[in-house]
Amino acid sequence: MDAMETQELKDRLALIEQMMHAGRRSTESWGWTFVLWGVAYFIAIGWSALGAAMYAWPVTMTAAGIVTGVVLARRKHKPNTTMSRAMGGIWIALGVSMMTAFPALGISGRLLDPHIFITMACAMLGMANGAAGIVLKWRLQIASACVWWVAGVVACFGSETQALVVFMVAIFFCQIVFGIVCMMAEAKGKKGGSYA
């Protein structure tokens, strides 16, 4: 290869690295949604424990969706990039999958076993975090995916209480802690001037 081709390859690699960094920054700016949805999961679990399982999840998830939509409508929209569309596509597909599959299974009476619900939720959340983490080459998000996957497998064994505890631990670390870490990184980036 001549020097021009070598430089072109270096430039392309640098551009790919910049895109992945921008994708991580974009995900960090969504940290609040991880926290919001993590808290919503805890509210739905608590409400279900009080005996309102039929209403707890649909009402809580709908409310979290509305809050997310209202906040997004008030945010300044950044230019749409290939990376932002890829990340957005992963999370929108997750949301549509969960919001269609779980209510349908619940209404049809086929989601009576909490082990199945927890395993499916963990698998779906693991897939979304795993895909995003792999695309962004972000170890923290890949680790989050691994926690979801392990929680999904563990939920298949043991009692319903044990499965619920594992699910709640995964929610805490993969939604709330991950979201807070993202928000802190975003604040640090803004303070340091690396965010536009």
* Residue 101: partners with Cβ closer than 8 Å, 6 or more residues away: 120
Residue 195, pLDDT score: 44
The Cβ-side half-sphere exposure at 58, using a 13 Å CA radius, reads 12
Q: Do residues 38 and 69 lie in contact, with contact meaning Cβ atoms separated by under 8 Å?
A: no
How many structural domains are present in the chain?
A: 1
Spatial contact of 71 and 35, defined as CB atoms under 8 Å apart:
no
Q: Quick one: 12 exposed, middle or buried, by C-beta within 10 A (0-12, 13-18, 19+)? A: exposed
The radius of gyration of the chain's CA atoms, rounded to the nearest angstrom, is: 19
Evaluate whether residue 176 is within a structural domain. yes
Provide the 10 A C-beta neighbour count for residue 141.
23
Structure confidence by residue, pLDDT tens digits, 110-122: 777 889 999 999 9
Identify the residue whose tokens are 């997750």.
94
Phi, psi angles (nearest 5°) of residue 103: -60, -40
Question: In the block, which residue shows the tokens 């039929």?
Answer: 54
Give the pLDDT band (50/70/90) at residue 196.
very low
In a domain, 63, yes or no: yes
Confidence of residue 161 (pLDDT cuts 50, 70, 90): very high
- Residue 176 confidence (pLDDT): 96
Q: pLDDT at position 25, please?
A: 66
Residue 26 located in a structural domain: yes
Q: Residue 111 is encoded by which pair of tokens?
A: 């989601």
- Is residue 2 in some structural domain? no
The predicted-structure confidence for 86-111, as pLDDT tens digits, reads as follows 888 999 999 999 988 888 887 777 77
* Residue 175 within any structural domain of the chain: yes
Domain hosting residue 103, numbered range: 18-73+83-192
- Evaluate whether 62 touches 123 at the Cβ level (below 8 Å): no
- Could you tell me the two tokens for 64? 């979290």
**By C-alpha distance, which of 134, 119, 129 is closest to 177?**
129
Average confidence (pLDDT) over 153-165:
94
Residue 29 lies in a domain: yes
Contact 6, 144 (CB under 8 A): no
Report the alpha-carbon angle 47-51-52, nearest 5.
60
